[in-house]
Structures are given as C-alpha cells and as structure tokens.
Amino acid sequence: MPDEHATTHEAREPATEPAPARATVRYAVAVAIGLVGAVLIWVATPYNNFVLGSSFIADSYLPVAGLFCILLLVLCVNPVLRKFRARAALDRRQLAIASGIFLIACVLPGQGLLRMLPYSLARFPTTVRENAALADAYETMRLPHGLFPGPLGFGAETPAADNFLGELQDGEPIPWHAWRLPLLLWGLFLVSCWLMMIGLTLMALPQWRRNERLAFPLLRVYEALLAAPAPGTLVPPIFRSRAFWSTTGVVFLLHLLVGLNAYNPERMPAIPLSWDLSRLFAEGPLAHLPGYIRTNRVYFIFVGVAFFMPNRISFSVWVTVLAYAAYRVIGRCYFPPYYGGTVGDHRTGALIVLALAVLWIGRRHWGRLLAGAFRSARTPQAVAERRSTRMFLLGCAGMWAWLVAMGVGSGWALFLVGIAFIISLMITRIVAETGMPFVRIDFNYQIGLLKLFPVAWIGGAALFFSYVIAMLFPTASRVAVAPMAMQAIELDAERPPASKVRFGLLLVAVLLAGLVICGAANLHASYHHGMTLDGAEQPISPWGTRRFNGAHAAVLELGRGELSRPSYSQAGHLAFGAALAGGLQWACLAFPKWPLHPIGLLMVNTFYANEAWVSIFVGWLLKVLLIRYGGSRLYQRARPAFLGLIMGEAFAAVLWAVVPAVLAGLGMPYKSVQVLPH
C-alpha cells in the first residue's frame, strides 16, 4: 500500500497512545536498528580487513560497510515493509538515525582507531624489552604500565603481547585480563577526544551550513539515498532513474571484469583502469616527475564526487598536485639539492594559517558560543548551543587532564590538545568543502613544529605522547570522528538543535560500546590468526604495529640530548607555506571569481590526492563542459548519472568484499580485488 494511503488511514484511526510516546518508540526502533548494523560492522570488518587481508570496507567517509547497511534498509527492508505493513516502514527521520549510527560505527574498526591502537600497544613492550637504552628512557618517563598489555622493562616477559602479535596455542584462552586496564585508561582519553570532536562538530555546523554555505558534497549523496519515495513507489527517486542505473551498471561491469580477470586471467578479459607512462618520461627533466604523474588510474567514486564539488575546489585539488610536481622537477633539475620534506613544511604552514582563517571568518559565531557556555540560556537554540560548547570544552579539559596525569607538563599538554583541535577542525572542513571520501591530513608536526623548540624544553613524556596524538588525530584523520559525526548529524538537517545535541551524545555512547565490542573482535582475530589467511602479512596488521617506531627513535635521540633536524631552512619553508595559503585565502575572499583555493595545499603530495587527482580532473572537466554547453538544466539532469558512478564503484567494492569471505568460508583460495584506494 502506498505511503500516502497509509498516512490517511492512520490519521482516521483513533490514537491508542500519545504522539510523544509513538515518537519515542520509533526513535528507539531506529536506534536499535542502527546498533544491530553497528555490531555487524564491528564484527565483520576486523575479519575482512585483517584476517582475509581484503579491501578495507570501513576506512573512508563513504564507507562500504556503512553503505551496505544503508542500502539494505532502503532497497530491501523498507520496500517490503511499505508493501505489506506500511505503518511499520521506517520514515525519513528513522532512516537518518540508523544511517548515522552506521556511519559513526565505521570509524572504529580501521584506521580511525583499531587498525593501529591495539597493535601498537602490543608491539610497545616487546620492543622495549629488547633495547636496554629504550627501557631506561621509558623508565625515566614513568609511563603507567597499565597503558600496555604487558610490563615495560629490558628482558621483561610479555606473553599477552607476544601471543597477540603471534598466535595462541590450540586450546589456550585469550588473556582478556591483560587488556582490561589498557581499555580503561585509553578509554578515558578516547571518550574525552570524542566529546571534543563531536562538540566541535555541533558548534561548527550552523556556521558552515547557514552562514558560509559550504557545499557538503557527500551529504548530497546520502540525501539522495535516503530521500522519501514518490507517492505510489517503494524506493527513493534516485533508484528509479535510468541514468543512475546505466552508469552504475557500466562501472560495476568494469570492476566485475577486473575481478574475474584476477581469478582467471587466461579466460576473462579486463578493461584496464590504470596506466603506466613511465617510458614516455624517461629522459630529460620529465624523468624527475613523481610516480603519481606517470602512473595512475581512474576511480569513478572521485569522478562522481568531483561533480558535486564547487568548481574552484575541484580545480584547486588537481592543479595544486600538478604545480607541486613541477616544483619537484624544477628543484631537482635546476636547484639541487632538492628536499622532499619541504612540501610537508608547506602543508604544515598552510594548515596552521587556514585553521586560523576558519576561526577568523566565523569569529562572531565562535565568540558567541564560548560566551554563551557560561551564561544562562533562555531559548531552545541557546540551550543547545550551550550544551554543545560545554561538550567541546569538557572534552578538551578531559584530554588535558589525562595527558597531565600521564606525566606531560601542563604547557605541553595544552599544546597537544591544540594540535588535536586543529586536525579535527581542518579534516572536518576539508570533508565539508571537498566531499573527498578518501582523504587524510599528513601533518608530521613532531618534525615540522616540535623540533623547532630547544631540546631542553622538550620532556620525554611530551615527546612520546606527541606521537600518540599523531596516531590518534593526523594518521586517524582518514576516517575521523568529527567529519563522520558531521554527516551523521546532518542526515536529518531538520532535526531540532536540542535533538542534535542528544544525538551527538548518543554517538559518543555508540563509540564507547564499539570500543568494547570491536576491540574484542580485533583481539579475537589477532590471537587466533598469526597471519592473514592468504599468508601475505604477519602479524595481521603490520602497518598498525609500526605507529610508535618514530617515537622510539626520537626518545633515544632525546636521551642523547639531541633531536635530528633537516639540513634546509625549515622555518623558511613553513613561512612560505603559511604565506602562500594566506594569500590564496585572501584572494578567495576578496575576489569571488578567483579560481585557486588554498585547500589544495592541505592535500598536496599526500597519498589520496596523488591517487585521486586524475579522476577529480575528469569530474571537474565533465562538469564544466556540461554547464557551459547545457546550462543548469543539463547539470541537474546529469546528477543521477554521476551518483551512479559513485554507487557503481560502491556496489563493486561490496561484491569483492563478499566474494573472498565466501570463498574463505568454503576453504577455497581467494584473491583481494582492490576496487577503491587502500
């Protein structure tokens, strides 16, 4: 029965319970559905990522695991309910609640946290026990031993860590007790981090959506998937578009052929999506072009997202990549020696200046919120703003207090909390402006900023925990809480402000539950699998075990009274990046038609920008041509086709995540088919 009939019929029936009670029940149902999907994500992702070694399914801002759960509701569950039990069908708000929980759940299993934290913590005591100098250095810091699943000391026995990185013997139980205190100590810090990030999101959204009117390209994708069906239909309008299914089908077929070719290269042809032009750039200055210019591939997800970006943003991303490729060629050919680290310094300078610019542009908004946190509130809007600001401040205070309790000086603790804030602010801003589903802030502030200070000022604990913050914020910015919470909250943009704050607190509770459930799933996977099933990696997350390697080297250097510094003028390159970003930001504000945005500087020479620049160029070019020769009408008509490019690659990623799991379950050999950037 169509929705409108159900609504009319429902309106004629006498109410058997008060409307608020019905709303509460529907809210509880949506939360329950969201939690069921979250648990599936938390259990399935560690097995997929680390045991199978398959394509990651949760490590992006358009996560495959989250999309799968959303599509399951939109294309399977809800149409059946609308057909046979219309009153039980999920409405738009319920879908938004459940989908928001799916999205925030995807933060934990991968690079957002658990791809790194437990593996780094397990590696830590095993590294310290083999190096007497390192053991002495950490003993001087007096780090709480409860931070790690084993004692710190030269020659110490660490069976819980050893078996985590190796494998338990048959019949041996998982040493859960060894992880209880680390869970408690790190959980206190992580909850503070999540309060800070979600509070920041709630504070920033009104400014960025209403006042600055940022594009939020990924929200357009989610809104299309969750749109209410037209009268008499069962699915959102996008799924009834021929253009959508045409491009979805083409992209899915291309990746299907690539996957089948990987399994049977002799019989199944594949249309290549990548290329290598190295032979064309083997001589002269062009031989110095970076590899991402000579070798690359098309990702349809980036082509589709670029269509929804503002032209200035998409243009700036790919032009900045090419400009810095030219910078490398010129530097190597005509101004040797060329230092690749200078690009990182440019990014660091740009990041700081652009963070200040974001705060300056919204200074009245931020000032009003901070002042309102300590005043009485008379309107619902003011009450919601006060709560979100207090959430942010409570998170910052909790982070600072935890770091001080760990032995970090109060000044350095404030510095580290400031770094965490800047990263959270800017990764959220990048996702809001670009919609890049795969993006990460590459911010080696330990090299770019910390080493600018005199060595005598830097304490051992401050140095070590600077690497902790680097892991939990810049490295984890590939799938961070703040941008994901931004999308989860804004899936229902009409939600009242007070309801948004309550939903933000619910997201913190979901993350805390996920830390326990998904953490247990990671422990179970690692203790029972010494290597991936295909034998490719040992332990199952080797990348995650290396996150503190830089900290060990730096701590040993600090013990000798020195810290290695670059041989070029680092301060000069930091200043250049800051000046360039500041100039471009000023030009964007002063001249509406100025084509180059400084946001490209934040991604230059990073893995995902290097992977995506060609695809973003293609999407930008197609959009420019469509608007120029077809106007806004053709642009609107083309939207379903570009959504189809995104979803076609998402469907293919789901397929090639399921196939290895099925084959492994049947005891058959399998291959990992990389559909999306790894």
Structure confidence by residue, pLDDT tens digits, 60-106 = 999 999 999 999 999 999 999 999 999 999 999 999 999 999 999 99
Q: How open is the CA angle 32-71-664, to the nearest 5 degrees? A: 90
Distance CA 351, CA 360 (A): 14
pLDDT averaged over every residue in the chain: 92
pLDDT exceeds 90 at position 362: yes
327: which residues sit within 8 A by CB, 6+ positions away?
343
Share above pLDDT 90 across residues of the chain, in percent, rounded to a whole number:
84
Q: Work out the burial of residue 117: count CB atoms within 10 Å of its CB; fewer than 13 is exposed, 13-18 middle, 19 or more buried.
A: buried
For 611-642, b/e burial (b = at least 16 CB within 10 A) is: bbbbbbbbbbebbeebeeeeeeeeeeebbbbb
Sign of CA dihedral 122, 127, 132, 134: negative
Q: Mind listing the pLDDT tens digit for each residue in 497-556?
A: 999 999 999 999 999 999 999 999 999 999 999 999 988 899 999 999 999 999 999 899
Helix (H) or strand (E) holding 315: helix 311-334
Strand ranges in 136-291 using DSSP code E only, listed in sequence order: 274-276
Provide the CA 177 distance to its chain's centre, in angstroms: 31
Which residue type does 350 have?
Answer: A
Distance CA 192, CA 508 (A): 10
Q: Let me know: does 33 contact 617? Beta carbons within 8 Å.
A: no
Residues in a beta bridge with 276: 295
416: which residues sit within 8 A by CB, 6+ positions away?
399, 403, 408, 462, 465, 466, 469
In the numeric block, the tokens 């948004």 are attached to 500
pLDDT confidence tier of residue 662, bands split at 50, 70 and 90: very high
Strand ranges in 436-576 using DSSP code E only, listed in sequence order: none
| 548's tokens | 């503190």
Q: How open is the CA angle 417-423-426, to the nearest 5 degrees? A: 135
pLDDT confidence tier of residue 608, bands split at 50, 70 and 90: very high
Q: Mind listing the pLDDT tens digit for each residue in 555-574?
A: 998 888 888 888 888 889 99
**DSSP of 62-125, one letter per residue?**
S-HHHHHHHHIIIIIIHHHHHHH-GGGS--HHHHHHHHHHHHHHTTSSSTTTTTTHHHHHHHHH
Q: Where are the domains of the chain?
A: 225-308+606-678
Residue among 76, 175, 243, 122 nearest 635 (CA): 243
For 449-488, b/e burial (b = at least 16 CB within 10 A) is: bbbeeeeeebbbbbbbbbbbbbbbbbbbbbbbbbbbbbbb
Helix (H) or strand (E) holding 146: none
pLDDT confidence tier of residue 7, bands split at 50, 70 and 90: very low
Cis peptide before 660 (omega within 30 of 0): no
- Per-residue pLDDT, 5: 40
- Per-residue pLDDT, 561: 85
Distance CA 597, CA 604 (A): 12
The CA distances from residue 616 to 21, 258, 316, 319, 612, in Å, are: 48, 22, 10, 10, 6
pTM: 0.94
Q: Let me know: does 94 contact 248? Beta carbons within 8 Å.
A: no
For 151-185, b/e burial (b = at least 16 CB within 10 A) is: ebbeeeebebbbbbbbbbeeeeebbeebbeebbeb
Q: Let me know: does 653 contact 64? Beta carbons within 8 Å.
A: yes
397: which residues sit within 8 A by CB, 6+ positions away?
192
Mean of the pLDDT values across residues 472-494? 96
pLDDT exceeds 60 at position 194: yes
Sign of CA dihedral 616, 617, 620, 621: negative
Q: Let me know: does 324 contact 293? Beta carbons within 8 Å.
A: no
Sign of CA dihedral 407, 413, 415, 421: positive
Provide the CA 221 distance to its chain's centre, in angstroms: 17
Mean of the pLDDT values across residues 413-417? 96
End-to-end CA distance of the chain: 44
Q: Mind listing the pLDDT tens digit for each residue in 26-40?
A: 999 999 999 999 999
Strands 295-297 and 274-276: antiparallel
Distance CA 385, CA 382 (A): 5
Q: What is the 3-class SS of 615-650, one letter each residue?
A: HHHHHHHHHHHHHHHHHHHHHHHHHHHHHHHHHHHH
For 193-227, b/e burial (b = at least 16 CB within 10 A) is: bbbbbbbbbbbbbbbbbeebebbbbbbbbbbbbbb
- Per-residue pLDDT, 563: 82
| 380's tokens | 């619902």
Residues in a beta bridge with 274: 297
pLDDT exceeds 70 at position 16: no
The CA distances from residue 506 to 384, 415, 425, 479, 674, in Å, are: 15, 29, 21, 19, 34
- Per-residue pLDDT, 226: 96
pLDDT exceeds 80 at position 164: yes
User: What SS3 state is found at 276?
Assistant: strand
| 667's tokens | 């005891």
